[in-house]
Amino acid sequence: MRTSVAIIGAGPAGLLLARLLQRQGIESVVLESRSREHVEHRQRAGILEQGTVDVLRDCGAGERMDREGLVHDGIELRFGGAGHRIDMAALTGGRRVMVYAQTEVVRDLVALRIESGAALLFEAEVSEVRGADTDHPRVHYRHDGAEHVLDADYVVGADGFHGVARKAIPAERVRTYERTYPFAWLGILADVAPSTDELIYASHERGFALHSMRTPQVSRLYLQVPPDTDARDWPDERIWDELDLRFAVDGDWRLERGPITDRSVTPMRSFVAEPLRYGRLLLAGDAAHIVPPTGAKGLNLAVADVTLLAQALTAALGHGDDSQLGSYSDTALRRVWRAEHFSYFMTTLLHSDPASDDFARRLQRSHLDHVVASAAAATSLAENYVGFPLGARL
């Protein structure tokens, strides 16, 4: 079997890259180790930057998003018993975000891929990538009980942090940077209308809390917890009681409760691998970098990566110009490190570090006060949150 681009992973990065290439007449095969049902039901973040929204619309994947997504012009920072709105649209010349779950983005892209008849193989487990540093890379995988080999001009690893693609790069040719945070998120989905029109990021002495939403009828909420937390130790009532405490504000605001349909614990870490290219193997999305979810950057970074890759691969395969592939890693990493810094900023600004002393806590409160009092500080937060235009030099 042969193709122009072998894409490992049918998450948003791999599926969107396949869609962008297809619209440029570039053939690809997408290999995914999990089942379609699993892929389409994985719960992930759901905040889309303006640039991500634009890319999905332009490639024909925005119809349901525009119909069902929730456009947000701002967020609320809540601390000290008061809420402070950051008007992102006003501070960034009208740029805003869309609340539309990654689960739904994946479903839309899967449907488009299948409708087009292009190759998308679920339960195709890749074992290794060979010859990445040659002109003829090969992907070895198992599907329908048999071993297969896929020859390609280029291989894109979009198979996540634990995937095989990054492991195909010799250890001496890649450098990794990592930070693990001393807390995690307990996230829930609840069948109850959101208690807020926009996201609430709450900083409290008991820990961080986030009120988000999936739809007008489904709420998504998070609590900062110790990293070794077992979600089974948190029954519904305990979760709602703790959320009530952390969202407490002077006034008549009330957190509505409802049946919890899903709960899970997400570790908090930052990770970057450099470079993002080894020969004809290119990395994108979580295979190359991880950000803590506080800044809502994971999915958006993946979209930025594959937007660059689609342009570079089209130039190389369609016009014999590989200059954009040569600069892909450096260009993508500038945005990656900007997002890493912003995610670190939001995480340390809002979470309670169990190792912090009174001095550190007072500094944190001073920083929060400054962000909501200074137009310049609020603008910096807003422009990072809504995302810089794709193609902007950062």
Residues with catalytic annotation?
Answer: 72, 201, 293, 297, 385
Distances (CA, A) of 316 to 4, 232, 333, 357, 358: 11, 51, 20, 54, 56
User: What does the DSSP 8-state code read for residue 389?
Assistant: P
Q: Helices in the chain by DSSP H: which ranges?
A: 12-22, 36-41, 50-58, 63-68, 88-91, 102-116, 236-247, 298-319, 323-350, 358-373, 375-386
Rounded Cα gap, residues 155 and 137, in angstroms:
7
**8 Å CB contact between 74 and 89:** yes
Burial degree of 254 (CB within 10 A; 0-12, 13-18, 19+): exposed
The angle formed by the CA atoms of residues 368, 370 and 371, to the nearest 5 degrees, is: 65
Report the SS3 class of residue 29: strand
Bridge-based pairing state of the strands 74-79 and 200-202: parallel
